[in-house]
Amino acid sequence: MSLLSLSYGLLVLLTVPLYALIPSRFRALTLCLVSLLFYAWGSLPHAALILALGGVVFVLGERLQSERRSTLFALGVSLCVAVLCYFKYSVLFLRTVASVLPVGTTSAQLSQHADILSLELQIPLGISFFTFEFVHYLTDIYQGKIVRPHPLPPLHKRCTDFFLFALFFPTLLAGPIKRYQQFGTDPALAPSGTRPEQIAQGLWRILFGLLKKVLIADSLATITLRLKAPELVTPLGLWMAMYAYAGQIYADFSGYSDVAIGVSLLLGYRIPDNFNYPYVARSLQDFWRRWHISLSSWIRDYLFIPLGGSHVPPWRAILNLLFVMALCGLWHGPAGHFVVWGLWHGAGLGIERLYRKLRGQSTDSQSRWSGFWGWLWTFHFVCVGWVLFAAPSLKAAGIALARMLFLLR
């Protein structure tokens, strides 16, 4: 079920008035059940998976609240990562191993197994989002950032609150990635009040998201198809496709986020914005503070900072940037061109860091490369990265970039 499908629209139309009319003590449980039915509509086994994994995470979280044992924390995080890797990356792993092995029986068997697995294995919708949310939940409990309220709510209330966080249907499929501490009903947006401004704000956000998706993203999609077969397109056509894809991916992804945020508002939940005019950024650091904010902040807080952040020698900070951005690329898709896209951004962030270091500027400051030239560098660096992202393979991306620079006929 897509966020833009008719069935999703009917679900929202039925859920919002029902949620506003039922007694407040039953709202969280009702929304949990609706969200579970929404996910089970797509796949019952996958709904059982998220329930089972969520149940384990909740139990481990409860234990970590009373005894912060590193083994429990490592077990929970490892389980989440293992589930994500199995469903999303096992085929890529098998094909990579088969490609590096000498040609023979073992290599052929691995390739055959990978082909079969790619046909049989269905990736659960939203698995990249809910596994990251589970890792955040366990990490913040272990670090003492999530603490039990006093007086302690009953177990069934804590369980309901957690599964509402885990299953919340507006954000389950395409984010934004939520933080448990920030998730909850906004007293100023309580559904029982059904204030006109609350409804208007949510409906406007949904309409704005739909317009971005349908009028902009879908219109540009016909142009961006040129990146799928770059050998058949002129250099000028490829440049046009690159710029078009920059607009398409922003309108498409931010449109989905707007719909999710708007539906959340109708239900009385305020979800943080996921995009903040990313193409006005004058540095790559600034771009990643504006683009897919929930993911970039997750990578910063749970990967980059634990690796040392900015408090390590420059060479190590750059290696850490390359590593975490490669993982960011892999998070977007199990293919080599996504990894190279991540490395491209990691290299760019590293270059900017060295530049600021030579200029005597703080690497953690908001300082940007000056004015127009900083914007021009950032925008085109990001656009070249989109060629790597949009191409069907690394080879196709290489052909597209070579033809754009008139290096290949």
> Domain boundary residue among 217, 232, 266?
266
Q: How far apart are CA 391 and CA 229, in angstroms?
A: 8
CA distance 323 to 347: 10
**Whether 384 contacts 341, CB under 8 Å:** no
Residue ranges of alpha helices (H) inside 121-191 are: 127-142, 155-167, 169-172
Q: Cβ of 150: how many Cβ atoms within 10 Å? A: 6
Would you list the DSSP string of 306-351? TTTTTSS-HHHHHHHHHHHHHHHHHHH-SSHHHHHHHHHHHHHHHH
* Within a domain: 51: yes
Q: Do 215 and 259 sit in the same domain of this protein?
A: yes
pTM to 2 decimal places: 0.90
Number of folded domains in the chain? 3
Residues 284 and 160 in one domain: no
Q: Are residues 219 and 291 in the same domain?
A: no
Q: 174 and 53, same structural domain?
A: yes
Do 258 and 285 have their domain in common?
no
* 271 belongs to a structural domain: no
Q: What tokens were used for 326?
A: 């490669």
- Give the SS3 label for residue 185: strand
Residue 188: predicted pLDDT: 47
Strand partners of residue 390:
none
Report the candidate in 329, 283, 325, 284 with the shortest Cα–Cα distance to residue 307: 325
Q: Is 332 a catalytic residue?
A: yes
Please tell me the distance from the alpha carbon of residue 291 to that of residue 254, in angstroms, as a whole number: 9
Instruction: Assign 269 to helix, strand or coil.
Output: strand
Q: Does one domain contain both 79 and 157?
A: yes
The pLDDT profile of the chain, 409 residues, written as one tens digit per residue, is 566 677 788 888 888 888 888 888 888 889 999 999 988 888 899 999 999 999 999 999 999 988 888 899 999 999 999 999 999 998 887 777 777 677 666 777 777 777 677 666 788 888 999 999 999 999 999 998 888 777 888 888 889 989 999 999 999 888 899 999 887 655 444 444 456 777 888 899 999 999 999 999 999 999 999 999 999 999 999 999 999 999 999 999 999 999 999 999 888 888 889 999 999 999 999 999 999 999 999 999 999 999 988 888 888 999 999 999 999 999 999 889 999 999 999 999 999 888 888 877 665 544 445 688 889 999 999 999 999 999 999 999 999 999 999 887 7
Same domain membership, residue 126 and residue 60: yes
Same domain, residue pair 374 and 240: no
* The pair of three-digit structure tokens given for residue 17, joined into one six-digit string: 């008035």
Q: Are residues 337 and 258 in the same domain?
A: no
Domain boundaries, position 228: 196-266
Backbone angles phi, psi at 185, to 5 degrees: -70, 135
- Exactly one of 46, 332, 345, 380 is catalytic; which is it? 332
Q: What is the dihedral of CA 3, 7, 12, 18, to 10 degrees?
A: -150
Residue 189 domain-assigned?
A: no
Regarding whether 162 and 21 lie in a shared domain, the answer is yes
Q: Which amino acid is at 228?
A: K
Nearest-CA neighbor of 259 among 192, 313, 206?
206
Find out whether 397 and 337 touch, Cβ atoms under 8 Å: yes
- C-alpha gyration radius of the chain: 23
Is 216 strand, coil or helix? Answer: helix
Number of other residues whose CB lies within 10 A of the CB of residue 21: 11
* Residue 88 sits in the same domain as residue 180: yes
Question: Is residue 358 situated within a structural domain?
Answer: yes
242 and 376, same domain (yes or no): no
